[in-house]
Amino acid sequence: MLYLYNTLSKSKEIFNSLHPGKVGMYSCGPTVYGYVHIGNIRAYLLSDTIRRYLEYIGYEVRLIKNITDVGHLTADDVAQGDSGEDKMLAAALKEKKTPEEIAKFYETYFKNVEKQLNIIPAQYFPRATAHVPQMIKIIEGLIEKGFAYEKNGNVFFDVTKFEDYGELSGNTLENLKVGARLEEHPDKNNPWDFALWLKAPSEHILKWDSPWSIGYPGWHIECSAMSTEYLGNTIDIHTGGEDNIFPHHEAEIAQTECFTGQKYVKYWVHGRHLLMNGEKMSKSKGNLYKLEDIIEKGFSAMDLRLLFLSSHHRSQMDFSWEALAQAHKNLQRINDFVFNLEVISKTEKDGDSFDIVSYREKFEAAMDDDLNTPLSLAVLYEMITNINKQIAEDKLSATDAKNALAFWKKINSVFGFVLQGQAEIPQEIKDLVRQRELAREGKDFKKSDELRALIEKHGFIVEDSKDGPIVKPAS
């Protein structure tokens, strides 16, 4: 049974979907005014892991990930997220492009990064700019019901009207009044209210007609509009990084629940931040690495995937090259393991029987416990160690290798690794390695040496480790 930590209840809850066998999931996607960085990737990998594991246990998942192509109006350290510069606009001016060109460029970049990380694409990536009519409809409804008010072409949500405000983040009205830095706006009734619609200054490029002014939507309303449009009024799971908890998700709950009169999200799942020297990696601070920076240093997107899966999503993670190097080694070990299984599975070898069931149970127990990926990887490593022992003692049978390979494929539907090593080794080389293994088994060392030479002639080297043969392209 899957347990998920719900930010709303601050506890691990049993996961039950709203509709049998189906899960509706919404993940806050990128703001496309700059390159996606590896901190963002950590957040997208979390939603990918949730989705992959839900599919593993038999759910059909519909994932929606928005593209924020309207500027976030947010000075990062200010409370409600409706002041500061428009970052889309700033990027457009700086790069001498239109906001549409900027958005399209960075959206393509983001999708390419997700592809390299083997993140399964969302079923749909709605763009905020294509959903302004839906946002306007919600804002109109909120005004009608008395939850929002308009002044001078600006519309604000009246936080005092929503009793549960603060339940997600702990920033209740009482706490806000004493603690937070709040944004003053001459048209706000109270500083803790947040913007739903803002009148555009004349230099603003992205603006739309509305019943209140020519303007643009506040940041939070886009996710309410797009999630309800594609997933209905109540959704199973909503994810994001921890910075999304407040103000973004708190505001989403307030405006959506006041508009629909229904519960908005059943499970809120947030990933903690990726840090750089103790500080949040962020676009606005510029203390970031992009995927290219990782690749330039000789690592792969899969090394990064493994690094992120090696820590739990509810722990902050300080990025380090040493940890990435360790992830690289671990991935190589997985690579070699799978290759060996492939080789042995094609032989006629008998041997002792190897118990896969206990590993399956441990893997699922780890994942069921709030998606404990570090533990589920530890289960895999334990299995590798034990299978390698069997191989070294020449005891692993072809049937066991086949079963282990089938199990690997199943759990890798959750880990999502693309093993480059395998892909690089052509089938004919794998066949030669297999023939060489057979020759060695039959103690025909002359033939085994000839086959090694032939493999080398094809540009590959084969090493006999205690874990079985390891084949690599000769470098």
8, 42, 343, 414: which one binds ligand AMP (CB under 6 A)? 42
Number of residues in contact with Zn ion under rule CB under 5 A: 2
Q: CA 72 to CA 85: how far, in whole Å?
A: 8
What would the two tokens of residue 246 be?
A: 């407040």
Q: Which does 301 bind (CB under 5 to 8 A by kind): ligand AMP, Zn ion, none?
A: none
Query: Residue 281: which of Zn ion, ligand AMP, none does it interact with, CB under 5 to 8 A by kind?
Result: ligand AMP
Residues 450, 453, 459, 465, CA torsion sign? positive
> Which position has the token pair 């060489």?
436
List the alpha helices (DSSP H) in 57-98.
87-95
CB of residue 240 vs ligand AMP: minimum separation in angstroms?
A: 4
> For residue 73, which of 159, 165, 161, 197 has the smallest C-alpha distance?
197
Q: How many CB atoms lie within 10 A of CB 7?
A: 23
CB of residue 475 to ligand AMP, shortest distance in Å? 34
Q: Does 28 bind ligand AMP (CB under 6 A)?
A: yes
241 binds, among ligand AMP, Zn ion, none (CB under 5 to 8 A by kind): ligand AMP
According to DSSP, residue 235 is labeled E
What six digits make up the tokens of 261? 């009169």
The least distance separating ligand AMP from the CB of residue 45, rounded to whole angstroms, comes to 9
- Binders in 244-283 for ligand AMP, by CB under 6 A: 244, 271, 273-274, 280-283
Q: How far is the CB of 34 from ligand AMP (least distance, A)?
A: 8
**DSSP helix/strand/coil, 415:** helix
Residue among 247 and 468 whose Cβ is closer to Zn ion? 247
> Hey, what amino acid is at 98?
T
Q: Which residues pair with 197 in a beta bridge?
A: 155, 217
The yes or no reply on residue 223 touching Zn ion (CB under 5 A) is: yes
Q: Which of 25, 43, 384, 411 binds ligand AMP (CB under 6 A)?
A: 43
Nearest distance from C-beta of residue 94 to ligand AMP, angstroms: 17
Structure tokens at 393: 């003692």
CB within 8 A of 406, min separation 6: which ones? none
Segments of 312-429 assigned E as strands = 317-318
43, interface contact from ligand AMP, Zn ion, none, CB < 5-8 Å by kind: ligand AMP
Q: Between residue 11 and residue 50, which ones bind Zn ion under the rule CB under 5 A?
A: 28
Closest CA to 185 of 224, 153, 145: 153
Binding partner of 223, given Zn ion, ligand AMP, none, CB within 5-8 angstroms per partner class: Zn ion
Instruction: Tell the smallest beta-carbon distance from residue 283 to ligand AMP (Å).
Output: 6
Nearest position to ligand AMP, beta carbon: 241
Question: 376 is in the binding site of which of ligand AMP, Zn ion, none (Cβ under 5 to 8 A by kind)?
Answer: none
DSSP 27-47: E---BTTS---HHHHHHHHHH
Judge whether 210 and 197 are in contact, CB under 8 Å: yes
Out of Zn ion, ligand AMP, none, what residue 31 binds, judged by CB under 5 to 8 A for its kind, is: ligand AMP
Residues that bind ligand AMP (CB under 6 A): 28, 30-31, 39-40, 42-43, 240-241, 243-244, 271, 273-274, 280-283
Residues forming contacts to Zn ion in the complex (CB under 5 A) are: 28, 223
